[in-house]
Structure 1
Amino acid sequence: MLDGMERGLLQTLQIAGRVAFSLVGEVLGVSDRTIARRYARLRAESGVRVSGVVWPEAVGRQLWRVRVRVRCVPEAAVGPSMDGRVGFRSLSAATGWSEATVRRRLAELRASGVVYFDVDFDPVLLGLRASAALWLSVAPGESAAAGRALAETRR
């Protein structure tokens, strides 16, 4: 279960995945180093991940969602992933671009809606026992009928 500071950090990351830890620390009344340590612990012990994701529709593609989670190999055995909190220096090394170019390009992609940041975490961290999501595509004139159909659905 998360304490108040960790809940605040998780909530902040859900709003702005690449927010500076110094700003989070200022808002929560602790140092940026404390926030960085807590984030590192949440990553290592609880599987919290911030990922930069391309919004498919922004680049002319269709949106399909499939989420499969399998944990069978420790991350240390395969190396760390490059999640959404990786530093600009690491992104620069991975892309071969300068840090300034990486910063500018990421800002452009975020501003245009092509990239967003997603925070993946176990709902148990917030005391939740289950997590469910339902996406529907319903014509505007059919929303009442869709609502009735859902309400009539048995467990």
Structure 2
Amino acid sequence: MAQSVTLDALDRRLIHALQIDGRASFSRIATVLAVPERTVARRYHRLRSALVVRVVGLVDSRRIGMLDWFVRIDCTPDATDTLTAALAQRDDTSWIAPLAGGTRLTCMVRTPGPGSDHEPLLFDHLLRTPGIRDIEAGCVLRPVAGVGGWAGRTSALDASEQAALRSPAPESPERPEVLAEASGWGEAEARLAGELALDGRADIAQLAAVTGWSASTVRRHLAGLRDAGVLHFEVDVSPAHFGFPVEALLWLEVAPAALGEVTQALSQQAAVAFAAVTTGRASVFAMVQCRDVGALYGYLAGELAALPGIGRVESALVQRRAKRAGPLLLPSMAERTPRFPPRTAAYRSGHMR
């Protein structure tokens, strides 16, 4: 469990720098922040040891032929905690959260794409799990906000400092090319991504040992995957450390003609940590961070209410986060969790946004 740590101005500047380039050297970050390299390294290792901050490598599911889903699960009261712990142990889940005031939990799940001959979907197993009453899943069609990091943790550096850290961004095609094993995504790449999901700043020697590649090959593949938009790095840190302890999930029913305008607006709103267009009754899913419930009301009645084409809004408060973007570093309730079938290599290829 993360320790109680108060972030100061330098911590926030460091976190912003890592969001721009999660593998930037401490010397490069120190130069931009105008502090000694030893200070930067000490700050990061202190925050990571306290389980407050870490850098995780994430894979764009669409680019490796897989799908991301937002899933809501309705459980019996006695099953919620056990199911939450079981899902948190899996490689193909992230952003797991029981919802406040009820017996529902939410998570993101990665599955093989349509027509895949891999193992049955996790959904099939969940429906046969005791204690689960209902499941509702929406497939992510396109992320529309928060992909480059929530604004609450990316406001500590000025424009010139950001430019000094930011490498030229690769072009992002409208329909991302899917990487097959023959064209750049195979078992070794999956192992590389899995190791970076645990620690996005793992050194080259460690990555070489995991993949069986030489150090130069690791560097080449790492650069290629980043340039192709397959792999990116995220700072895993709770918004509560920035003074935003209230997290709400929103499901928005948006008229098709208004999708463009609504999603563009969401991408500019400071409260929105992430949003995506999905399948299902609600065509847009969003995560919102607020200082308190009064601020959440103000957002719903103000910025969100002003957007056209939204027919219905369903909201829920997150009780706690059992898992964020990266895999768990510590086992949790393993002896009490129900067993799901093992994951294939297709699942062990990094984690979703």
Counterpart of 2:9?
A: 4
User: Which residue among 291, 308, 312 is the counterpart of 1:149?
Assistant: 312
Aligned amino acid, residue 221 of structure 2: R
Select between 12-21 and 128-137 the one with higher mean Cα deviation: 128-137
Unaligned runs of 5+ in 2: 1-5, 71-93, 98-196, 260-307, 317-353
2:243 aligned partner: 127
Give the 3 Å change call, closer, same or farther, for CA 40–108 of structure 1 in structure 2: same
Distance 1:140 1:11 in 2: 35
**CA spacing shift, 1:134–1:37, aligned 2, 3 Å:** farther
Q: Which residue of 2 aligns with 1:105?
A: 221
Give the structure-1-normalised TM-score. Answer: 0.78
Which residue of 211, 222, 239 corresponds with 1:95? 211
TM-score of the aligned structures, taking structure 2 as reference length: 0.37
Shift of residue 98, structure 1, vs aligned partner:
0.8
SS of 1:149's partner is strand
Q: Alpha-carbon deviation of 1:53?
A: 1.1
Aligned residues: 141
Equivalent positions of 1:6-155 (< 5 A) are 6-65=11-70, 66-68=94-96, 82-132=198-248, 134=250, 140-143=256-259, 144-146=308-310, 148-150=311-313
Residue 40 of structure 1: how far off its partner (Å) = 0.4
The alpha-carbon distance between structure 1 residues 38 and 135, as it changes in their structure 2 partners (threshold 3 A), is: farther
More strand as a share of residues = 2
Instruction: Report the 3-state secondary structure (helix = DSSP H, G, I; strand = E; otherwise coil) of the residue aligned with 2:16.
Output: helix
Cα pair 1:52 1:117 within 8 Å, conserved: yes
Question: How far apart are 1:64 and its partner, in Å?
Answer: 2.4
Structure 1: unaligned runs, 5 residues or longer: 70-80
Q: Secondary structure at the match of 1:104?
A: helix
Q: Distance in 2 between matches of 1:119 and 1:134?
A: 23
Say which SS state the counterpart of residue 84 (structure 1) adopts: coil
User: More helix per residue: 1 or 2?
Assistant: 1
Is the deviation greater in 102-111 or in 135-144? 135-144
Deviation at 1:127, TM superposition (A): 2.0
Match in the other structure for 1:77 = none
| Worse overlay, 132-141 or 90-99 | 132-141
With over 3 angstroms needed to count, the CA separation of the structure-2 counterparts of 1:134 and 1:24, relative to structure 1, is farther
Q: Flag the 1:32–1:135 CA change in 2: closer, same or farther, 3 A.
A: farther
How far did 1:29 drift? 1.1
Q: Describe the SS at the equivalent of 2:235.
A: strand
CA distance in structure 1 between the partners assigned to 2:217 and 2:238 by the alignment: 34
RMSD: 2.5
Kindly state the Cα deviation for residue 31 of structure 1 after the two structures are TM-superposed: 1.8
Contact kept in structure 2, 1:46 and 1:122, CA below 8 Å: no
**C-alpha distance in 2, partners of 1:43/1:29?**
22
Distance 1:112 1:124, change over 3 A: same
Q: How far apart are the structure 2 equivalents of 1:137 and 1:20?
A: 44
